Amino acid sequence: MSKGTYEVKVGLAEMLKGGVIMDVTNPEQAKIAEDAGACAVMALERIPADIRKDGGISRMSDPEMIFGIQEMVSIPVMAKCRIGHFAEAQVLETLEVDFIDESEVLTPADEFNHIWKHDYKTPFVCGCRNLGEALRRIAEGAAMIRTKGEAGSGNIVEAVRHMRTLMTEIKRVTRLEDDEMVAEAKNLGAPLSLVQQVAKLGRLPVPNFAAGGIATPADASLMMQLGAETVFVGSGIFKSDDPAARAKAIVEATTHYQDAKRVAKASTGLKNAMKGLDMSEIPAEERLQERGW
């Protein structure tokens, strides 16, 4: 028998497709998420909108909070560690979280190196803004990729930018001749073998989810139609006026993303969405997506 192989890690990511993964900060929110049909929850101390507002250093969650959420729900529980903070990742593995997010939402611990994720039995998800970044993370062992967007902004524009960029770059790679792929690998800053694999498959070799700024059912539908296989919703649910109803509506819009009538129905009668921020209100040095490389 073999546990924690790369195939087993990617396998769990496959199971999460077509669903919604919700950020939660306590067991009660986790229960609301599970009851709304979330396919997994992300346990974190503060949701991105509050991290942005409060400032300070943002770290891995208290294990007690993670235990509380694991006890409350039966769906997979994910948790975040800081970029490059492999000791936090080791701790999360001993807590038996189902997925570790090496996340730009937390304050990076290492500005040069990400975690070597092949060393773990627990699967990792990492953020990306483009194909090169995605393939560098996959080379390090990520079993799932999510486009970064701009966490805690309630603004979909960056999520769209990153997904469009990724998809355009994937399409470009599929049209290249063999000899052109070496130069492309150099330009992308990604291993040639992974560039060749993307060219052959016409997609990333691992599931590709979207995150960062999804606040409405239509946002979820938009990201699914742009090529996301599942959506992460962070601040969008628990910063809105009626989290339970909004959570359910975003699940429905994700399942039926191609059916505009159902997305319309899901969008009807929801109380206010989170307020959100225009990108011009977020100074360049405060943009979470710039963390990691």
What CA dihedral angle connects 124, 134, 293 and 60, to 10 degrees?
-20
> Is 13 in contact with 145 (CB distance < 8 Å)?
no
Residue 17 appears among annotated catalytic residues: no
Rounded to a whole number of angstroms, the minimum distance from the CB of residue 21 to another protein is 10
Stretch that binds another protein, among 31-39, 48-56, 161-169, 277-285 (CB under 8 A): 31-39
Stretch that binds another protein, among 91-99, 172-180, 210-218, 274-282 (CB under 8 A): 91-99
Burial of 142 (0-12, 13-18, 19+ CB in 10 A): buried
Considering only 108, 123, 154, 234, the residue that binds another protein (CB under 8 A) is: 123
Considering only 26, 50, 90, 98, the residue that binds another protein (CB under 8 A) is: 98
Task: Annotate 91-112 with three-state secondary structure.
Answer: HHHHCCCCEEEEECCCCCCCCC
What length does the chain have? 293
Rounded to a whole number of angstroms, the minimum distance from the CB of residue 50 to another protein is 27
> Is 26 in contact with 51 (CB distance < 8 Å)?
no
| Position 240, amino acid | S
Calpha distance 36→183 (Å, rounded) = 47
Tell whether residue 19 is a contact of another protein (CB under 8 A): yes
Calpha distance 20→257 (Å, rounded) = 12
Shortest CA distance to 41 belongs to which of 274, 240, 234, 239? 234
Site string for another protein, 45-84 (x = CB under 8 A): -------------------------x---xxx--------
Q: Tell me how crowded residue 3 is: count the other CB atoms within 10 A of its CB.
A: 6
Two structure tokens written together for 249 = 């509506």
Two structure tokens written together for 18 = 């077509």
Tell whether residue 5 is a contact of another protein (CB under 8 A): yes
Q: Catalytic pick from 3, 17, 53, 80?
A: 80
Rounded to a whole number of angstroms, the minimum distance from the CB of residue 157 to another protein is 27
Tell whether residue 23 is a contact of another protein (CB under 8 A): no
Chain positions 228 to 267 lying near another protein, rule: CB under 8 A, are 229, 248, 251-252, 255-256, 259
Rounded to a whole number of angstroms, the minimum distance from the CB of residue 89 to another protein is 13
Closer of 187 and 225 to another protein (Cβ): 225
Tell whether residue 268 is a contact of another protein (CB under 8 A): no
Active-site residue set? 80
Q: Which residues make up the interface to another protein (CB under 8 A)?
A: 1-5, 7-9, 11-12, 14-19, 34-40, 70, 74-76, 93, 96-99, 121-123, 229, 248, 251-252, 255-256, 259
